[in-house]
Amino acid sequence: MEAWIVITIVAAFLQNLRSAAQKYLKRVMGTTGATFVRFGFGLPFAALYVLILHLAIGYPIPSPTPMFFLWVVIGGVSQIAATFLLVYLFSFRNFAVGTAYSRTEPIQAAIFGLILLHESAGVGPLFAIAISVVGVMLISVAHVEMSWRNLFASLVSRTALIGLASGTFFGVSAVTYRAASLSLGGPNFMMQAATTLLYTILLQTLLMLGWMLWRDRAELGKIGKAWKPSLFVGAVGATASFGWFMAMTLQQAAIVKALAQIEMLFTIASSVWFFRERINRTEIAGCLLITAGIIVLVLVN
């Protein structure tokens, strides 16, 4: 099994843990604070990974180029915008439909990979991506009344457009992170990924910290009181991101993000085993499609 596959699966599992911890933090702080801890408390760990690779293993730290910084800025800002739009969806009653459309990220990543990096995913991977995306969308709308009328109406709804925009920004960030890491040219995929992660999280931390100092200083106090769970979110989140960046250095972003849909299976499993929630037929069908898409993806790569 190729390294990027193992790394992606581990990163997806860690991201599931991070998301669960962020949901807990939402009880004691606002959306801005819960989003910030992912970056602010992850920054020390991102720096630690670079130091370990440099001092303990001996890999040289690559010298960033102007193009590297351009890709990092585009990726970092796009990820913040995508996250904001995704969170904004929860203010709508029918947010599930919009969330489903945000899950078109792998398809959009394939499009932006072709436009920005001239990368073609191939027929096999694109077919696998399509299968997994349909599966995720089914799970996302599993508790919405399904009908042809509702389906076509949802295509032009406000939540659908916001969801598509979120998926677009996520797709852009994934492709530009890969471009940033590849632009370093070495010494290897681990140091390239760690360096890209460090600069990206530093940028995102400064942007969000500046925003809170300007518009939402009360959040800083709430973050300070919840520093222990915030530290867990930062550690797990930075480690997951390190995994994403390594995988996307080794493989096209669209293919990595397609395999990353396995996170939905982890989420469903957590709901059933830990929270004793029942899943319906639509969710089961979605899980089967995601699994089928992953199997196809692994077989054709």
List pLDDT tens digits, range 189-235: 999 999 999 999 999 999 999 999 998 888 899 999 989 989 999 99
Q: At 2, is the pLDDT very low, low, confident or very high (cuts 50, 70, 90)? A: confident
As a whole number, mean pLDDT of residues 138-156 equals 60
Exposed, middle or buried by CB within 10 Å (0-12, 13-18, 19+), for 109?
buried
DSSP string, 58-112: -PPPPPP-HHHHHHHHHHHHHHHHHHHHHHHHTTSTTHHHHHHHHTTHHHHHHHH
Cβ atoms 121, 254 nearer than 8 A: yes
Q: What is the pLDDT of residue 262?
A: 83
Query: Which of 114-123, 167-176, 179-188 has the lowest average pLDDT?
Result: 114-123
Q: What is the pLDDT of residue 235?
A: 94
Q: What is the pLDDT of residue 146?
A: 59
As a whole number, mean pLDDT of residues 119-143 equals 77
Exposed, middle or buried by CB within 10 Å (0-12, 13-18, 19+), for 64?
middle
Q: At 108, is the pLDDT very low, low, confident or very high (cuts 50, 70, 90)? A: confident
Please tell me the total count of domains within the chain.
1
Question: What is the span of the domain harbouring residue 130?
Answer: 3-300
* Half-sphere exposure for 86 (CA within 13 Å, toward CB): 20
Is the pLDDT at 273 greater than 80? The verdict is: no
Q: What is the pLDDT of residue 92?
A: 66
Q: At 55, is the pLDDT very low, low, confident or very high (cuts 50, 70, 90)? A: very high
Tell me which residue of 286, 236, 233 sits closest to 262, measured CA to CA. 286
As a whole number, mean pLDDT of residues 256-281 equals 75
Is the pLDDT at 126 greater than 90? The verdict is: no
Q: Sign (positive/negative) of CA torsion 204, 67, 162, 261?
A: negative
Residue whose token pair is 């843990």? 17
CA atoms of 62 and 159, how far apart (whole Å):
42
Q: What is the pTM of this model?
A: 0.86
Q: What is the pLDDT of residue 232?
A: 93
Q: What is the pLDDT of residue 54?
A: 96
Q: What is the pLDDT of residue 121?
A: 74
Q: What is the pLDDT of residue 69?
A: 97
Mean pLDDT for the chain overall: 84
- Which residues fall within 8 angstroms of residue 245, CB to CB, at 6 or more apart? 177, 181, 193, 194, 196, 197
Q: What is the pLDDT of residue 247?
A: 96
Query: Which of 43-47, 207-211, 232-236, 262-266 has the lowest average pLDDT?
Result: 262-266
Q: What is the pLDDT of residue 149?
A: 58
Select, from the ranges 31-40, 100-109, 188-197, 260-269, the one with the highest average predicted confidence (pLDDT).
188-197
Cβ atoms 166, 102 nearer than 8 A: yes
Q: What is the pLDDT of residue 144?
A: 61
pLDDT digits (tens, 9 = 90+) for 59-103: 999 999 999 999 999 999 998 888 878 777 766 655 555 566 677
